[in-house]
Structure 1
Amino acid sequence: MLMKRWIWGCGLSVALLVAGCETKPANTDSGTGPGAGTGTAPEASPAATPGATDVALSGEITVDGSSTVAPITSLIAEEFGDKHAGVRVPVGISGTSGGFKQFVRGELDICDASRPISESEMETLKKNNIEWLELQVAIDGLTVCINPKNDWCQAMTIAQLKKLWAPDSTVKKWNEIDPSWPDREIKLFGADTDSGTFEYFTEAVVGKKNSSRPDYQQNTEDNVLVQGVAQDEAALGYFGYTYYVTNQDKVQGLPISNTENPADAVAPELESIRSGKYAPLSRPLFIYVSKKSLERPAVAEFLRFYLSDEGQKLVAEAKAVQMSGDQLKAAREKLEESLKK
């Protein structure tokens, strides 16, 4: 397989040029709350791309949104481009909310999303006469990370994280969370407010979406957050599992307890995330597609490839967590049913 190239630019959207050859939405087949995404990764089957055709494809498919989903979509876009020389798939990373702002105006074919679409976004789509389809494509575990030189914090509870991240938090030092920890200032790093990661983290940890202390270093670029934690011994930050697992030489994932007892903490790992045991920070990852765009053969075949066995292997290559067999089957059936209409 070709070496995959991720092109990241601070403050800029990624453009992958392909060349060569709340009320939750009613159409969500799998869980969308904290801890969603259970089961076992599917085995490869002979039908790699259900319903695929041999039609020569061309054109551009515009994608923007979640920085958590972007590494997956980028790998799939590149591999798809190797098979279809006439198709170009630029993948932007303006954040989930930033992507939805474009999607509801009809400016995108596909929006990568690390959270479900909101009621207000659905209302805007309806107002603009845009029909859409939601497809789960993977699972993520929001990972709380510390610097590897941090030798005092072995685990944290959700209650401790809430104390640290709540909008009225006055916590400045580690010993204000646990008296046995050192009298050292905590440097905080996290997702920016346009990010689905920010919305999910605040709802799961603080208990209210978009509710967070403002005095932390935020960025759309997850790699910037990784570097921030890596460069400060007393730092703590959160970002998607992909960015943690590809930077384990720089940051350390923190086990999280959903009870008051730190001994119950669960580490962010593939199986704990897939099973939902890494609660409440396991979450589904989505792509949203305009049904009008879905009428174009290139878009239809791109989505089929995304959900094919070959495409789903790229989910693992991107260091994300694959869906269960049942979840993948449901996503494929939803796509094929929509294509029939």
Structure 2
Amino acid sequence: MGHEPITDRAGTLSRRRFTLGAVGATLSGLAGCITRGEDSGLEGAISIDGSNTVFPHGAVVAEEFQWRNNRVEISVQGSGTGAGFQRFCEGETDIQNASREILEGDDDNEAVLCEENGIEYVGLETALDGIAVFVHPDNDLVDCLTVEELEAIWESGSDVDTWSDVRDEWPDEEIELYGRDPASGTFDYFTEALTGEVGNIRSDYSASADTNVIVRGVRGAQYALGFGGAGYYYENEDDLKLLAVDNGDGCVKPSRETVESEEYQPLTRPLYSYFRADAFDRDVVRSFARFFFEEVDGEATDADVVEDDETLTWTQWAARRVGFYGIPDEQVEASSEKLEDAIAEVTE
């Protein structure tokens, strides 16, 4: 089975080969199908699991790395941030993609689970995402909601049932609510950003582990409201209406400019890749981890991804390629330095 990565080579695959709709899919065994690409001499296997939101980013980085190292096998799965951390902290995977930081609180303490199993790790910011708030395209009532209005709608014990409960001038139409389930890192970030407390959310909304289900719910009801990663909106922008969010400085929609500048607040969030420290004993894992922060080559240029006179690393390029946003250059440097320090602790 022939294969080429997501760049601009002749006969390439679509730039949306690994779209945000591919949640739950897997690249397991893909490397065994490669009959083209570059034989660098590097070989070995790497296992990745975690956030189904972050899955497309990890898949694209893995795909590009495998093209340049076609004897490497990388399996990429999207079991969810919570489920992925359970596997990671039990030593079942090398890398954990996460849409939030590892939990260190009193409840569901993932960091303690890792410690109990002797798993040391380093967590690196590798992409940015904006959590989008969206409605049905025929909803002409609203273009922007304040953070206070969003909190009133979503918080636990909310008495907001209709659009008129949000603003008096709006009609008495019931708001059908769709969002991520409590196992999702998106859920954790969204609830904390709006209410100041992870998990502070009303119980009578339609919760799903799959943002595509949320999208279908919102586009099926004129007065529905939902939230999910901004990339999912842009994959379905003909079927949804994107709302701006007013954090006190005016209404702002998530876009490359507003997320990468962190103007879109409070719903701009970092995405993470966690690496098991003991896996750095293997050259293949060290090389793959460093690949995230290496500059892209000439085959990765794309008018939709790379601006004029702009130099991107693979993690920035892949983020934009699948509908996320690139971390700032200073964060690239910080993550790369943090990675090298972690590798040094294992290998020196």
> Contact between 2:20 and 2:235, CA under 8 Å: does it hold in 1?
no
Question: 109, 129, 147: which is aligned to 2:118?
Answer: 129
RCO (CA 8 Å, sep 6+): is it higher in 1 or 2?
1
1:8 Cα deviation after fit? 8.0
Residue 94 of structure 1 contacts residue 220 of structure 1 at CA under 8 Å; is this kept in 2? no
The correspondence for 1:322, drawn from 321, 326, 330, is 326
Q: Secondary structure at the match of 1:321?
A: coil
Distance 1:151 1:107 in 2: 49
Counterparts in 2 of 1:28-39, with a 5 A limit? none
Contact 1:141 1:282 in 2 (8 A): yes
Aligned-residue offset at 1:59: 3.1
Structure 1 residue 96 corresponds to structure 2 residue 81:
yes
* CA–CA separation in structure 2 for the residues paired with 1:158 and 1:8: 26
Which SS does the other structure have where 1:116 is aligned? coil
Report what 1:30 is aligned to. none
Q: Determine if contact 1:13/1:91 at 8 Å carries over to the other structure.
A: no
1:315 Cα deviation after fit: 1.6
- RMSD of equivalent CA atoms: 2.0
Equivalent residue of 1:89, what SS?
A: strand
Q: CA offset at residue 202 of structure 1?
A: 0.6
Distance 1:168 1:87 in 2: 51
- Distance in 2, matches of 1:140 and 1:9, equals 15
Aligned residue identity for 1:123: V
User: After the TM superposition, which residues 90-169 of structure 1 pair with which residues of structure 2 at under 5 Å, given as runs?
Assistant: 90-119=75-104, 120-169=109-158
SS, match of residue 63 in structure 2: helix
Q: Secondary structure at the match of 1:182?
A: coil
1:64/1:111 contact within 8 Å kept = yes
Equivalent residue in structure 1 for 2:290, among 282, 290, 304:
304
164, 178, 183: which one aligns with 1:194? 183
Amino acid in structure 1 at the alignment position of 2:54: V
CA separation in 2, counterparts of 1:294 and 1:212? 39
Amino acid at match of 1:94: S
SS at match of 1:236: strand
Which segment is superposed worse, 281-290 or 175-184? 175-184
Equivalents in 2 of 1:340, 1:248: separation in Å?
45
Report the counterpart of residue 266 of structure 1 in structure 2. 252
Q: Secondary structure at the match of 1:307?
A: coil
Aligned to 1:16: 27
- Whether 2:338 is the aligned partner of 1:334: answer yes
CA contact (8 A) 2:40 2:70 kept: no
Residue 284 of structure 1 pairs with residue 270 of structure 2: yes
User: What residue identity is the alignment partner of 2:332?
Assistant: L
CA distance in 2, matches of 1:82, 1:121: 34
Q: Is the 8 A contact 2:135 2:218 kept in 1?
A: yes
* Alignment match, 1:75: 60
State the Cα distance separating 1:338 from its structure 2 match: 2.0
Letter in 1 for 2:290: R
User: Which of 255, 280, 283 does residue 294 from structure 1 map onto?
Assistant: 280
Q: Which amino acid aligns with 1:224?
A: V
> Residues 136-156 of structure 1, C-alpha deviation per residue, up to 9 Å, x if partnerless?
101111111111111111110
Q: Residue type matched to 1:179 in 2? A: D
Distance in 2 between the 1:108 and 1:196 partners? 18
SS of the residue aligned with 2:292? Answer: helix
Aligned length: 305
Q: What is the Cα deviation at residue 87 of structure 1?
A: 2.2
Distance 1:7 1:256 in 2: 25
Greater displacement, 322-331 / 301-310: 301-310
Shift of 1:9: 8.5
Decide whether the 8 Å contact of 2:244 with 2:252 is kept in 1.
Answer: yes
Inter-partner Cα distance in structure 2 for 1:305 and 1:325 = 15
Unaligned runs of 5+ in 2: 1-6, 297-313
SS of equivalent to 1:190: strand
Q: How does 1:202-217 map to 2 (within 5 A)?
A: 202-217=191-206
Q: Does 1:173 align with 2:158?
A: no
- Per-residue deviation, residues 13-34 of structure 1 (Å, max 9, x unmatched): 321143315xxxxxxxxxxxxx
4+ runs deviating over 4 angstroms = 7-10
Deviation by residue 1:54-106 (Cα, 9 ceiling, x = unmatched): 86233332111112211111111122222222222222222211211111111
